[in-house]
């Protein structure tokens, strides 16, 4: 006697599985599209050593001769300060039409914004029209330059509700940088994130700082972290280390391998660009965001 064939899965279950797979394929396609777009600036062979459009350039508009020259960014595993091992400035830039992201990639970039009011690594209004996601390594000299020279001058835009800055870790220089990132999060737990970032970045303005545990503790005291004992305990907190690793994995999944890299709504700025460049990008994105809000409203 032949055993009865197993029951076929219900039609609803099959349809659910199909929907899940379809969504997964779409998400993967969007991420691949974003990676490809980030790499646009180098597709002709006259770009940079990594996926971003080039040190101090954007992936949404061409660089003109009148624009100030931005500082170079640091590429994974290179980060030296003597001029060797850094990205070379791009010799050519694609035209604006080619560098404008398609709508699905622009939406993906907007979806990367967390807008979490409880995010200790963010500053600015949750509903600000422009969000700048900053991927950085605390021992990157170019990240340090941005932190010292440009970031303070963007504070007015943060204060007036135009700009929100969400910091993301992109660890390039192995364990020392990873531990520095954990320390910054430990300071953020005591509401001293910005003060700690300031003193931490200051150590790498002239080159990658060598930081040990005692250095991180001394910087916490300098930054005014109120409970140093709790801070030291947090240096060994696996949950904080996991958050650092998650941010780094996010950046790598998007094809971002150089620091600093900024996603300003739907514009990519690769490298520590000049203040005027950031102001222009923020203003362009503000106008676009407010126009879109008016249309959908």
Mean pLDDT along residues 48-70: 38
Which pLDDT value is given to residue 33?
Answer: 58
| 79: pLDDT strictly greater than 80 | no
**Taking a C-beta distance cutoff of 8 angstroms, is the pair 132, 164 a contact?**
yes
pTM score over 0.85: no
**Of 51-55, 88-92, 289-293, the least confident:** 88-92
Taking each helix axis from N to C terminus, what angle separates 213-222 and 193-202, rounded to the nearest 10 degrees? 120
Average pLDDT across the chain, whole number: 79
Q: H or E element: which one contains 58?
A: strand 57-58
Which pLDDT value is given to residue 11?
Answer: 47
In whole angstroms, what separates CA 171 from the centre of its chain? 11
| 233: pLDDT strictly greater than 50 | yes
Residue of 244, 249, 189, 195 whose CA lies nearest to 219:
195
Cα 118 to Cα 104: distance, rounded to the nearest angstrom: 28
DSSP 144-201: HHIIIIIGGGGHHHHHTTSEEEEEEE---SHHHHHHHHHHHHHHHTTT-HHHHHHHHH
Mean pLDDT along residues 251-279: 97
Which pLDDT value is given to residue 111?
Answer: 97
Full strand arrangement of the beta sheet holding 57-58: 57-58, 267-270, 261-264, 130-136, 163-169, 122-123
Those residues whose C-beta lies under 8 Å from the C-beta of residue 104, and which sit 6 or more positions away, are 30, 33
**Taking a C-beta distance cutoff of 8 angstroms, is the pair 99, 40 a contact?**
yes
Residue with tokens 């001029």: 83
Which pLDDT value is given to residue 26?
Answer: 45
Higher pLDDT, 40 or 206: 206
Higher pLDDT, 152 or 297: 152
Cα 197 to Cα 170: distance, rounded to the nearest angstrom: 14
| 201: pLDDT strictly greater than 60 | yes
| 86: pLDDT strictly greater than 90 | no
Mean pLDDT along residues 211-218: 98
Burial of 235 (0-12, 13-18, 19+ CB in 10 A): middle
pLDDT bracket for residue 30 (50, 70, 90):
low
Taking each helix axis from N to C terminus, what angle separates 213-222 and 174-188, rounded to the nearest 10 degrees? 30
Which pLDDT value is given to residue 296?
Answer: 81
| 78: pLDDT strictly greater than 60 | no
Which pLDDT value is given to residue 101?
Answer: 75
Which pLDDT value is given to residue 32?
Answer: 54
Which pLDDT value is given to residue 295?
Answer: 87
CATH superfamily of 11-84+95-296: Glutaredoxin (3.40.30.10)
Which pLDDT value is given to residue 73?
Answer: 57
């Amino acid at each position: 006697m032949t055993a009865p064939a197993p029951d076929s899965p219900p039609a609803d279950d099959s349809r659910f599985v199909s929907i899940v797979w379809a969504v997964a394929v779409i998400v993967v396609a969007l991420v691949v599209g974003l990676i490809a777009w980030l790499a646009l600036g180098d597709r002709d062979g006259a770009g940079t050593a990594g996926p971003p459009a080039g040190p101090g350039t954007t992936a949404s508009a061409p660089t003109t001769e009148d624009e100030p020259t931005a500082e170079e960014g640091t590429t994974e595993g290179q980060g030296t300060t003597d001029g060797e091992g850094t990205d070379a400035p791009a010799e050519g830039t694609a035209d604006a039409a080619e560098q404008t992201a398609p709508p699905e990639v622009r939406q993906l970039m907007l979806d990367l914004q967390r807008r979490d009011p409880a995010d200790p690594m963010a500053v600015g209004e949750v509903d600000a029209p422009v969000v700048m996601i900053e991927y950085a390594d605390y021992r990157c000299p170019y990240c340090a330059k941005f932190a010292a020279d440009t970031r303070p001058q963007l504070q007015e835009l943060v204060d007036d509700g135009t700009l929100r800055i969400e910091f993301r870790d992109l660890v390039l220089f192995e364990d020392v940088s990873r531990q520095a990132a954990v320390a910054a999060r430990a300071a953020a737990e005591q509401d001293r994130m910005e003060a700690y970032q300031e003193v931490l970045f200051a150590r790498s303005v002239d080159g990658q700082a060598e930081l040990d545990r005692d250095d991180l503790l001394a910087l916490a005291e300098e930054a005014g972290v109120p409970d140093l004992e709790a801070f030291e305990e947090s240096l060994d907190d696996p949950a904080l280390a996991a958050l650092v690793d998650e941010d780094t994995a996010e950046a790598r999944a998007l094809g971002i391998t150089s620091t600093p890299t900024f996603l300003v709504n739907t514009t990519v700025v690769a490298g520590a660009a000049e203040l005027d460049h950031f102001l222009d990008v923020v203003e362009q994105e503000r106008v676009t965001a407010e126009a879109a809000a008016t249309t959908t409203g």
